[in-house]
Amino acid sequence: MFKPVIAALLLATTAGFAQAEPPRPLLWKVSDADNSLYLLGSFHFLKEADYPQAASTYAALDDAERVVFELSPAEMNDPELASKMALAARRTDGRTLQQSVPEATWQALSAYTARRGLAVANFQPYEAWFVSLLVSINEMQLLGLDPEMGLDKHFAQRALDAGKPVAGLETGDQQIALFDGMDQRQQLQALDDTLAEMADIESEIEAMHALWRAGDADGLFAATGAEMKADYPALYQRINVDRNRAWLPRLAGMLDQGTSDDTLVVVGAMHLLGQDGVVAMLRAKGYTVERL
C-alpha cells in the first residue's frame, strides 16, 4: 500500500474511476445535548467522476451553520501558499541535494527524472522532503488526479456559495512546518520510499480507490495510518496523532458552546480513522457518535 509521504500528502486518495453510485462517505455525526459535529473524511486529489458525492454529505452541509477545514478556504486557495512551501524547502546549508543524499538515492532520482523528461538539476536547491512531495504530486497529476477536485475544495466552494461562515483548524505555516521539521533521517526515508513506490503507484491508487468507494474505514486505515504507525512511528505521531490531539479541544468546544449551531468539519480521512482518530477521541470523551 501507500508509503508515508503519499499517505501523508493524500491521507488516502482515489483514482476517481466512474461508478454507478456515489461512494459511501466517511461521515460521522457527533452530538451532545444541544448540537452536533459532522465529521467528513477528505481526499485531497480527485477526479470529476468522483462527483456528486452521496446525498448525506450535502445534507450535512445544509444542516450545518458553519464549516471548518484543515486550512481556511482563503489559505486553501491562496496561490502564494505553494511559493511559501518552496521557499521553506530551499537548502540553506551550502550543499546541493546530491551532496546531501546517498549516491543510490541520487541515482534513483536521476533515473526517475530522465524517465519523466524532467531536469534533475531543478531539484538540487531543495531539501529531500520537498523533492518527495514534488515527485508524488507529479505522479498523481499524471494519473489525472487534481487537487482542485479534492473533497475539501469542493465543500469549501459549496460552503462559500451558501454564505456559511468558514474557518481552518491550522494555518498554512503550521502545515509547512510539519514537513520542514522532519529530521534528515525521516526526509531521506521519505524520498527513498517515494521513488521506490513509483513502479506500482497506479495499482496502489486503484486499491485505495476501492476502499474509499466502499466506505471501508478499517481497510483504509490499515492501508494508511496503521502501516505508517508500524513502519514510521515518529512520522505517524507527527503527521497524525499530534495534530488530532491539538484539534480535539477546538472540536469539543464546538459541541460545548451552549448553542444549537451545528458544524461540518472536513479533514483528511486518516485523521478520523483508528483509535488515534478524532472520532474515537470524541467518543472517549462521552459524546454520542454515529456513522452516517
Query: Residue 8's pLDDT is what?
Result: 53
Q: How far is CA 79 from the centre of its chain?
A: 18
* pLDDT for the residue numbered 47: 83
pLDDT of residue 174: 93
From first to last of the 292 residues of the chain, give the pLDDT tens digit. Answer: 334 555 555 543 333 334 457 778 999 999 998 999 999 998 888 888 889 999 999 999 999 999 999 999 999 999 899 999 999 999 999 999 999 999 999 999 999 999 999 999 999 999 999 999 999 888 888 888 888 888 999 999 999 999 999 999 999 999 999 889 888 988 998 899 889 888 787 777 777 777 877 889 999 999 888 888 988 888 889 889 999 999 999 999 999 988 899 999 999 999 999 999 999 999 999 999 999 9
- Amino acid letter at 2? F
Q: Rounded to the nearest 10 degrees, what angle do helices 184-197 and 128-142 cross at?
A: 20
pLDDT score, position 258: 81
3-state helix, strand, coil in the chain (%, to 5): 60, 15, 30
Helix 80-89 vs helix 172-180: angle between axes, to the nearest 10 degrees?
Answer: 30
Residue 4 · residue 210 · CB < 8 Å: no
Task: Check residue 219 and give its pLDDT.
Answer: 92
Helix (H, G, I), strand (E, B) or coil at 168: strand
State the Cα–Cα distance between residues 37 and 60, nearest whole angstrom: 9
Q: Report pLDDT for 20.
A: 54
Q: Domain span at residue 123? A: 4-291
Strand-strand pairing, 66-71 and 36-42: unpaired
Q: Is 170 helix (H, G, I), strand (E, B) or coil?
A: strand
**Structural domain count, the chain:** 1
User: Which amino acid is located at 43 in the chain?
Assistant: F
Q: Which pLDDT does position 18 carry in this prediction?
A: 41
- pTM as predicted: 0.89
Model confidence pLDDT, tens digit, residues 246-261: 999 999 999 998 889 9
